[in-house]
Every structure is written in C-alpha cells, then in structure tokens.
Amino acid sequence: MGRTNLILIGMPASGKSTVGVILAKVIGFDFIDTDLLIQRAEKKRLAQIIEERGVDGFLEIENRVNASVEADHCVIATGGSAVYGEEAMRHFKKIGHILYLKVDYDAISKRLKNIKKRGVALKEGQTLRDLYDERVILYEKYADTTIEEKGDVEDVVVRILKVIEEG
C-alpha cells in the first residue's frame, strides 16, 4: 500500500467531508470519514467522548484510530484535531498525499455555530481564535499541498483535481 490515498486536513467546518465525498465520486475512490470511524469504535458521538474523556482522552483515541486506518485509493477526511496525533500523521504521510483545505478565520467562525455539539476538541479557556492559530501551524507543517478555499465546493474539487493531474 503506497501513497495511493488523498487525505484532507483542516479546521472543523472547512468542508473536508463535503469536498471528500464529491472528490471520491469524481475520481472513483472510496470515501472515509475518520470522525465516523472514531464514533463507530467508541460507540459514542464525538461530543460525548470529549465530555466523558476530556480533550486529551479524545485526542488519544483519535490518534489511535487514525494511525490504524487501512486504506487504498480512498479520499480520507480527518477530524480537525487529527494533526495533534503525530503517530497518525506519520501514518497518513506514508499512505497518501495530504491536502490542507485552508479557510480563513472569519469564514470558520461564521460556519461554526455550536462548537460543543459539533465535537470540536477545544481546551478549557481556549477561544476559537486560539484554536485556529494553534492548528494552522500544524496543518501547514503536515500538508503536502495547501488548497485555499475560495468559492464553492466544486471549485475546491476542481483545484484538487488539478493538483492530482500535475502529480
């Protein structure tokens, strides 16, 4: 299993799952949403896991589940906090091309209405701005390619296809 997958990273509400489903259909790949894998493994919603285990406990689970993903010719949409798991990110680097869907802070803050229900790994006292600034550094560190989101989902998919074609 080489680097045959496309792995999407980025902030919550950056469109990873939406873009991922459409991209997978267009290129004939399967689609994996790692948040759903975590929920299936734990038999709980993300928000419940965070509530019961705390942010650090959730991040440990997320890292373990992500590091164990076995995939070939898949588009993989990760949770926004996946970049905190070094083991998982090393694994993703080995099995695929990592695409960072970059969305500016103002757009993210408008899209994220109920951060608690969404299951966002936000530490005690941390603001959305703090989280954004902290994660952008990690997204840029792990990304093979950055796709700035400007426009609609189809535009993002077209730009990803261009990256694929250019090799």
Q: Is the dihedral of CA 157, 158, 161, 162 positive or negative?
A: negative
Domain residue extents for the chain? 5-154
* Tokens (6 digits) for 155: 């535009």
Written in H, E and C, the secondary structure of 19-62 is HHHHHHHHHCCEEEEHHHHHHHHHCCCHHHHHHHHHHHHHHHHH
Scanning the structure block, which residue is given the tokens 């535009």? Answer: 155
Domain 5-154 in CATH 3.40.1380.10: no
The number of beta carbons lying within 10 Å of the beta carbon of residue 157 is 21
Confidence class of residue 93 from pLDDT cuts 50, 70 and 90? very high
At how many degrees (to 10) do helices 86-95 and 128-142 cross? 40
pLDDT at 149: 84
pLDDT at 146: 94
**What is the average pLDDT value for the chain, to the nearest integer?**
91
Q: 152 or 116: which carries more pLDDT confidence? A: 152
Among candidates 131, 122, 144, 18, which has minimal Cα distance to 77? Answer: 18
Determine what percent of the chain is predicted with pLDDT higher than 70. 94
User: Tens digit of pLDDT for each residue in 20-67?
Assistant: 999 999 999 999 999 999 999 999 999 899 999 999 999 999 999 999
Q: 140 or 126: which carries more pLDDT confidence? A: 140
Q: Cα separation of 124 and 87, whole Å?
A: 24
pLDDT at 6: 96
Determine what percent of the chain is predicted with pLDDT higher than 90. 71
Mean pLDDT of 126-141: 94
* Tokens (6 digits) for 53: 């285990």
Alpha-carbon torsion, ordered 39, 44, 45, 49, to 10 deg: -100
Confidence class of residue 140 from pLDDT cuts 50, 70 and 90? very high
